[in-house]
Structure 1
C-alpha cells in the first residue's frame, strides 16, 4: 500500500490528479490490489470485469455531454433571475457567485481557495471510491448503488441536451454578469502543486461549457451521503451532510454553478432513489416465486375452509 501511495503522489504531481474516469479507475483498481495483495488474481480480474462497463459508460457520458449544446444559445438569464430572486435580498441584488467573489476572492490564494480546490476534485473520485469499497464488501449494495448512480447520470445527461444552461463564468464572459473568475483549481498553487490540476484544467477546456443544469457535482456529493446515511451512526450525520454543503459553496464561489443548479441537482438525487427504488420493488414482486402449488390449485386450509377436524384418539 505504501508503494501505491508513493506512485499516486508522483503521478499526481507529474500528470495531474485523476479526474478522468478511466484514469481514476486504474488508480482505484491498483489500490484494491495493493490493499488485498494476498487475494488470487481471479478476484482482481473480476473487479476489472465488473467495472469496465461502468467506466465505459462514464467515459461515454463525459464525451457525449460535450455535444449537448448542439450549437444552440444556452439558457442563462433565467438562472440569473432565479438566484437573484432567492438571494438578492441578502446580496444587494447580485447572484451569490458575484457576491461571494466580491467578499472572498483575492489575487493571492487563501485557505478557503485550497479547501475549495480539494472539495471540487473530490467529485471525480468519491463516488468511484465508495462504489469500489461496496464491490469489495457488499456486492448487492454495490449493484443498488450503481443502478441509482447510473440513473442519476443518465437523467443529468438528458437534461443537458434538452436544456443547455451556462454557468456564471460563461455569463460573465458574455456580458450577462459582472466579472466572475473561474477559480476551482487555483488552491493547489498555494503548495506549489502547479501540475496537480493539469488533467482537470484540460478537461474543463474540452468539456461542454453549457452543462450547468443540473449540477451533478453537488448531486454526486449528496447521492453518496444519502446512500450511506442510514448505515452511519447518527453522530456522524452532521459531518457527512457537511460534504454536499461544502461542494455547494465551492461550486457557487468558484463560478461553476448557480444555486438553482444545485437545488435541481438535489431534486434529481431524490428522483433517482424514488424511481429506482420503485423499479426494484416492482421487479422483486414480479420475480417472487408463486406461493401456491404448481398447478395453480387451492392452497392448504385456505382452499377448504370446512376442513375435517383433527382426529381424536379413541379412549378405552
Structure 2
C-alpha cells in the first residue's frame, strides 16, 4: 500500500499544474452548484472554520488518516481473506489509475484555492503537520487535482470492502460511516466540492465493474483454487460396474 501511495504521489506531481485552467474550471463548478442551489458547501466550510477543535481534527483526518485506513483494510484482506485479495486490490489500483488520468485531463482547483473568497482555507487558517496548504507540502504537490476526490474514492473502497466482507454487524456499520465522514471532512475543509465526491463514487463503480469483467465475478466472491477449478471442470468418473448396473436397470 505504501508503494502504491508513493507511485501515486510521484505520478500525480508529473501532471502539469495548469493553474489558471484549474481555477477557471473550479469557478465554473462553483457557479453551477450555486445555480443548482447547493449552498451547503460554503455553509459547512464556514462552520468548520469557526470551530478550531473540529477544524484541527478535520485537517488531521484529511491529511493523515486516509492512507493508514486504506492500507489497514488491504492488509486485513490479504491476511484474513487471501482469496479476495487479488480482485479487491485490483479495484483499488484501477481506481487510482483512473484518478491520475482525470487529474491530467481535468485539472481543477479545490474550493479553498478559488479567488472568489467564498471558502475558507481551513488548513491554512489552522495549520497542522503535513497540511496540504503548508509551504513545504504545497511546493512538492500538485494542488490542482481535485476532480475526482480520491479521498472519497478510497474511503468508498474501504467502506464497501468492510461492509461486504466483515462478519460483525458493528464493523460493517462502521464501514458505511467511514466514507460518509470522509465526505463531510473534504467538503468542510474546502478541499473538494460535493461533485468531486460524486465523481469519486463513479470511479469506484467503474473500477469494480472492470474487476467483474476481468475476473468474471464480483470482487467480493472468493476465487477458486486450481484444485477446485480442476474438480469443477472435470466430469465425475463412472466405474465400469456402476455403468453396467445402470444399463441393466434401464
Shift, 1:139, TM fit = 2.4
* Aligned equivalents of 2:113, 2:118: Cα separation in 1: 10
* Aligned equivalents of 1:199, 1:105: Cα separation in 2: 16
* Aligned equivalents of 1:160, 1:85: Cα separation in 2: 25
Shift, 1:198, TM fit = 6.8
TM, length-normalised to structure 2:
0.76
Q: Which has the larger radius of gyration?
A: 1
1:112 partnered with 2:51: no
1:214 partnered with 2:148: yes
Segments of 5+ residues of structure 1 without an aligned counterpart are 1-20, 26-54, 294-298, 302-306
CA contact (8 A) 2:123 2:132 kept: no
Matches for 1:271-282 after TM superposition, within 5 Å: 271-281=206-216
Query: 1:197 maps to which residue?
Result: 130
* Aligned equivalents of 1:133, 1:291: Cα separation in 2: 31
CA contact (8 A) 2:111 2:193 kept: yes
Query: 1:60 maps to which residue?
Result: 7
Match of 1:102 among 24, 46, 62: 46
Query: 1:231 maps to which residue?
Result: 165
Query: 2:16 maps to which residue?
Result: 69
* Aligned equivalents of 2:55, 2:195: Cα separation in 1: 22
Shift, 1:99, TM fit = 2.1
The RMSD of aligned alpha carbons is: 3.2
Segments of 5+ residues of structure 2 without an aligned counterpart are 218-222, 239-243
Query: 1:244 maps to which residue?
Result: 179
* Aligned equivalents of 1:114, 1:261: Cα separation in 2: 22
Question: Taking structure 1 as reference, are residues 184 and 219 closer, same or farther at Cα in structure 2, changes over 3 Å only?
Answer: farther
